[in-house]
């Protein structure tokens, strides 16, 4: 167990639900003696990886934020896609999502928040299940066999409308591949429906998904899906021959 791995364990103790941690919590979560954690945290703070708040707890520092913006995958694909999310937002005024699949989860690379007040649980940099969101269903529909079978056998319930029967979901995934878009009705959070389309690279592989959140699907589903498809094609052209796999 190296020093470096201990310091990284401290950084790893932070996540979406734990953005602010005390020394004790950090020591526990990283499984380190408090004295050791204390010293390492001191170094991390003095470098700027963490900051100490007035109340004494630790939070992720600005320097890590800046560093993160240099990361190639989010930075590259995300920046490429950003203007097209804008377009979708302008055309629909809905909350727009851009996500990739990471293992058996949807990783949200970007989001534009609509000015309606639909409850949205996504967070940029956060992960949500593949079977309860529009972008998730798209990513799942085009995922390798083993990922699909794993997800299909682990369908957790998020709301009373979540699909938990593998056969029902399998049928939906077929529909996604047939129709070219996915939809959800309050399967992730009550009051929120979604539409999503695949984003392909130059070779035609699905590498991401583009979706939006609305209060109800039907009044203008066709127009919304069309807006998403236009943007997805735009992203595809923009990707050109560059090799974004994943």
Partner DNA sequence: TCCCGTCCTTCTACTGGATGGAACAAGCTT
Partner DNA sequence: AAGCTTGTTCCATCCAGTAGAAGGACGGGA
Please report which helix (H) or strand (E) contains residue 182, including its range: strand 182-185
Nearest partner of 230 among 212, 205, 203, 215, judged by Cα? 212
The residues that touch its own copies, with contacts defined as CB under 8 A, are 2-5, 7-8, 11-12, 14-16, 19-20, 40, 43-44, 47, 49, 51, 53, 59-62, 64-75, 82-83, 86, 89-90, 112-113, 115, 123-125
Options 38-46, 88-96, 166-174, 209-217: segment touching DNA (CB under 7 A): 38-46
What tokens were used for 120? 């949205």
Regarding 39 and contact with DNA (CB under 7 A), the answer is: yes
Residue closer to its own copies by CB (options 44, 173) is: 44
Options 12-20, 33-41, 85-93, 223-231: segment touching DNA (CB under 7 A): 33-41
Regarding 40 and contact with DNA (CB under 7 A), the answer is: yes
Which residue, chain included where needed, has tokens 């629909």?
92
Q: Which does 11 bind (CB under 5 to 8 A by kind): its own copies, DNA, none?
A: its own copies
Please report which helix (H) or strand (E) contains residue 209, including its range: strand 206-214
Q: Which does 115 bind (CB under 5 to 8 A by kind): DNA, its own copies, none?
A: its own copies
Nearest partner of 195 among 214, 179, 208, judged by Cα? 214
Dist. CA 12–CA 29, nearest whole Å: 9
Residue closer to DNA by CB (options 13, 208) is: 13
Cβ–Cβ under 8 Å, residues 134 and 196: yes
CB 4, min distance to DNA, A: 6
Regarding 28 and contact with DNA (CB under 7 A), the answer is: no
**Region of residue 61 (phi > 0: left; psi between -120 and 50: alpha; otherwise: beta):** beta
**Euclidean distance between the first and the last CA atom of the chain, given in angstroms as a whole number:** 31
Regarding 54 and contact with DNA (CB under 7 A), the answer is: no
Total residues interacting with DNA, rule: CB under 7 A = 18
What tokens were used for 23? 């020394």
- Where along the sequence are the contacts to DNA (CB under 7 A)? 1-4, 6, 22-24, 32-36, 38-40, 56-57
């Amino acid at each position: 167990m190296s020093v470096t791995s201990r310091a990284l364990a401290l950084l790893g103790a932070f996540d979406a639900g734990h953005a602010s941690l005390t020394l004790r919590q950090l020591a526990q979560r990283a499984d380190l003696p408090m004295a050791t954690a204390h010293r390492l945290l001191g170094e991390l703070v003095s470098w700027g990886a963490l900051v100490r708040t007035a109340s004494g707890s630790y939070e992720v520092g600005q320097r890590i934020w800046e560093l993160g913006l240099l990361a190639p995958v989010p930075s590259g694909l995300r920046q490429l896609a950003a203007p097209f999310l804008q377009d979708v937002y302008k055309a629909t005024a809905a909350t727009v999502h851009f996500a990739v699949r990471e293992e058996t989860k949807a990783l949200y690379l970007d989001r534009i928040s609509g000015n309606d007040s639909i409850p949205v649980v996504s967070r940029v940099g956060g992960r949500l299940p593949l079977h309860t969101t529009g972008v998730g269903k798209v990513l799942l529909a085009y995922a390798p066999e083993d990922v699909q079978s794993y997800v299909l056998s682990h369908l957790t319930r998020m709301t009373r409308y979540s699909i938990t029967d593998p056969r029902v979901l399998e049928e939906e995934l077929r529909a996604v591949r047939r129709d070219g878009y996915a939809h959800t009705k309050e399967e992730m959070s009550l009051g929120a429906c979604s539409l999503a389309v695949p984003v392909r690279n130059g070779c035609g592989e699905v590498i991401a998904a583009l979706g939006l959140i609305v209060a109800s699907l039907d009044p203008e589903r066709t127009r919304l899906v069309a807006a998403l498809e236009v943007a997805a094609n735009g992203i595809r052209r923009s990707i050109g021959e560059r090799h974004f796999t994943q």
